[in-house]
Chain A
Amino acid sequence: MMRNNNLKRREPLTDTQLLLTITICIFFAMYGLAMLVWGGGFLRFQQVFDMLNNNAALIIVACGLTIVMIGGGIDISVGGVTALVVMSCIVHMNNGGSIVTAALLAVGIGLCFGLVHGFLISYLEIQPFIITLAGMFFARGMTTIVSLEPQKIAHEGFKALMKTKIEIPWLGYVAKKGNLIPARMEIGVVVALVVLIVVFIMLKKTRLGRGFYAIGGNSQSALMLGVNVKRTRFLSYLISGLLSGIAGFVFMMHTGAGNATNAAGAEMNAIASAIIGGTLLSGGVGNVIGTFFGVLTLTTIKAIVTTSGLRDPWWQSITTGAMLCFFILLQSVVLSQRAKKKAKAKELLKE
């Protein structure tokens, strides 16, 4: 960067980077505030790990949704697909299936949904909202067909897998009795972090990843620039479906039980996380690192609400709604300020 004369000064942040920075700052500010005011659990690393343990599946789903949203689309079927995967895999394993075939089943179901969504949306050009809404109802319905009754996992090997936790002693804390309790992380979190890194690299470094940004920024232009818009859009839904499948498996590893209302509202939490993380619903701007922090921010808000004594579930909804509103306002204010600044600079140039 220093070599080229053109590039002496530092480049101003792109919209994506700017929104990401805002999200990360807000998360740390909020978490810091929680540590100061409420202390207790917030002072332990285990709090962060619990947030991850409880939300590994959400992180994966939100990664998929971020890709779709960057491409200018929306996928609200993700929660339903996750639930269907959980139920199917549990029934499969309780009837003598192995962990490997269950994992393949999970991925298969996810890919099927992604395939159909992607085909209908990008090749037949039907509204993504409607198609994935249909997909959501379909998946929820299928879940009850697979089993009307709640199912509990009975597979011994899988139970062992569920209990396996990665212990990190140096991030642990000393309990009142004086013994050290290490920080515990579930395997699902590892999966989620791997997905996060893979998606991050894909979005940043591959032609496909940049294609998502291009079609989200302006699909007409992307077409003129030679991007295969239809295939790119198709792949965004396929990846989202695949990640919903993986999320289902991870969800199952966390809860070990299948229920028709599993992952209820996961799609909305995922959308909220992506938006808080700086992904624009209009497409072309966003980042999975932001989404990751979006999930953490959302979870922190909920933890703060619960800790401060408002235990009724509606308080969480209300604060989530308020935060979402706040973030969207912030985003639009920041971006419009930018546009104004640009216009002003142009006028100065004229004079």
Chain B
Amino acid sequence: MQNDIVLSMRGIGKTFPGVKALSNVDFTLRKGEIHALMGENGAGKSTLIKVLTGVYTKDAGQIFIDGVEGEVSIRSPQDAQKAGISTVYQEITLCPNLTVAENMFIGRGNDVLVDWKGMEKKAGAILENLGIPARPKQQLGSCSLAVQQMVAIARAVDMDCKVLILDEPTSSLDDKEVEMLFGLMRDLRSRGVGIIFVTHFLEQVYEVSDRITVLRNGELVGEYEIENLPQVELVAKMMGKELEELGELNREEKPEEDTAAPIYEAHGLSSAACTNPFDFAIRKGEVNGFTGLLGSGRSESVRAIFAADRVTGGTVTMNGKTMKIQKPIQAMKQGIGYLPEDRKDDGIIADLSVRDNIILALQVMKGFFRPFSQAEAEAFADEYIKALEIKTASSETPIKSLSGGNQQKVILARWLLTHPKYLILDEPTRGIDVGTKTEIQRLVRKLAEEGMSVTFISSEIEEMLRTCSRLIVMRDRHIVGQLRGQELTQSNVMRTIAGGAD
């Protein structure tokens, strides 16, 4: 083992029932470097981190740590801490009701009594040394999230960690706080701590990291020095496409309908979840898509349109009239439908029957005190079970016993039943079989031909290119470009996602 290597993972494998989460992954961390771990959803980043922190036990491979003879066995988070591996998670894992100093020292040592004075003095010294703007006696909950995160890091550093894992530390921080955190990270790097930085913000990776390891589908794609890997190549590697391979997709010319007035138009729309205000418009019969990496803000944007998160600003015009859409029900009344990304939690009502799930949205719009008659509900359900070819024993079957694809069709039916003018589909094809996928894509095109406007989101770029006539590209919660017509190619999309850095 080289002298400056603090952590070396070799041939790590991990299998969950039915899924190979990691296979033969190598990872090397050197002293005093910030090493970004990148990958799309399901690439295996978090599994790798959890293997390293003892949350999961690995099925194969070896872990070596500087200063420890031979292979290290990590079976619990405590083992990991003893081996000098500390993790700071996206959600703060400190106790908000205790003071800053207590949070730094609780759970360490075996003294029966708490030495408040000594503890506060030590904590004060560490905080000052690292330049963290917190006072030892302050209640942790009264600090900002960024400072809480820094306190967690201070605790880890004081525990003499060699490997510091920062798992999505910047997701809930604003720009200024991110800068503060980066300052601390650079400081720790200069002290020789090896930092593993997990994030999905591309710009942030290039701002602080020295090296990048990319995972995809549970396999190692490669380890790269940051200077040798332009952003566009990183995106290509994460998505699994080599730039040279990106053959231009044959596509028929889709007529541009610039003349038609937009059916929905938003200016400076922002919500509690989507931090940056954006402008957006869609025409009658248009299919457009939001694309970008995971966490780029694509879902948050469409949720803002449907008012699924609290809307904080912006004006909305529908058919030329200014509308106030603050709640989903208002959006529904204006003819907007939204198929949510998280089918299980936001979509289906697991214990209700297929029929009740289908009529739900329409029933809500009509009001619960005027229920549909049994016959009406039956007629609606049967119509759409037939139209969408939903495979279910009967309309009485609980939706939870259907396959994922059929559940998705039921939710789709729920919205089609309301005859929306504008339908938002957020990852309608995730986790469903290929056959149903193409069915849904065909359906989307058909609906558009019939005059419905559709926003379609998918993680698979090919699917987006096939379905949409216009793509809105997002990066780090900003809209960074729009592609239409001939511009709609994979390499273009990736270049736009990566930004002009190549």
A residues contacting B by CB (< 8 A) are 1, 4, 6-7, 11-12, 14-16, 204-211, 213-214, 216-218, 220-227, 284-285, 338, 342, 346, 349-350
Contact = CB atoms under 8 A, between A and B. Distances in A.
Contacts of B114: 204-207, 209-210
Contacts of A346: 144
A205 B138 CA distance: 17
Interface string B78-112: 10010000000000111111110011001110111
B135 A6 contact: yes
Given A206-B112, A207-B111, A217 B95 contact: yes
Q: Which of A7, A14, A338 has the most CB of B within 10 A?
A: A14
Contact of A225 (B94, B128, B174): B94
Nearest to A209: B114
Contact of A222 (B95, B116, B121, B155): B95
Contacts of A217: 95-98
7 closest A-B pairs by beta carbon, nearest first, are: A226-B107, A217-B95, A217-B97, A284-B97, A225-B107, A224-B93, A221-B93
Contacts of A210: 98, 102, 106, 114
Contacts of B139: 12, 14-15
A217 B142 CA distance: 14
A213 B139 CA distance: 13
B136 interface: yes
B75 interface: no
Contacts of A227: 106-107
Given A207-B114, A210-B106, A226-B108, A216 B93 contact: no
A350 B96 contact: no
Contacts of A214: 95, 98, 102, 106-107
A182 B484 CA distance: 95
Given A222-B95, A227-B106, A206 B176 contact: no
Nearest to B139: A14
A222 B107 contact: yes
27 contacts: A4-B121, A6-B127, A6-B136, A11-B135, A11-B137, A14-B99, A14-B139, A15-B97, A16-B97, A205-B113, A207-B111, A210-B102, A211-B106, A213-B98, A214-B95, A214-B102, A217-B98, A218-B94, A221-B95, A223-B77, A224-B77, A225-B94, A225-B103, A284-B95, A284-B96, A284-B97, A342-B142
B481 interface: no
Interface string B168-181: 00000010100000
Nearest to A345: B144
B141 interface: yes
Contact of B78 (A4, A16, A226, A342): A226
B143 to A, nearest CB: 9
A208 B113 CA distance: 8
A220 B124 contact: no
B443 to A, nearest CB: 42
Contacts of B77: 223-224
A209 B81 CA distance: 24
Contacts of A4: 121, 124
B113 A207 contact: yes
A213 to B, nearest CB: 6
Nearest to A335: B141
Q: Which of A16, A204, A205, A207 has the most CB of B within 10 A?
A: A207
Contacts of B141: 15
A350 B176 contact: yes
Contacts of A350: 174, 176
Contacts of B135: 6-7, 11
Interface centre among A14, A16, A216, A224 (most CB of B within 10 A): A224
Contacts of A205: 113-114, 116
B228 to A, nearest CB: 36
A213 B114 CA distance: 13
B123 to A, nearest CB: 10
Contacts of B107: 214, 222, 225-227
B97 A216 contact: yes
A182 to B, nearest CB: 39
B456 to A, nearest CB: 35
A342 to B, nearest CB: 6
Nearest to B88: A224
A118 B93 CA distance: 25
Contacts of B97: 14-16, 213, 216-218, 284-285
A209 B113 CA distance: 9
Nearest to B102: A210
Contacts of B94: 218, 221, 225
Given A1-B137, A205-B113, A216-B97, 10 more contacts: A6-B124, A6-B128, A14-B97, A207-B110, A209-B114, A214-B98, A221-B94, A222-B95, A223-B77, A226-B81
A213 B95 contact: yes
Nearest to B92: A221
Nearest to A338: B142
B149 to A, nearest CB: 13
A301 B270 CA distance: 51
A226 B127 CA distance: 21
A7 B101 CA distance: 13
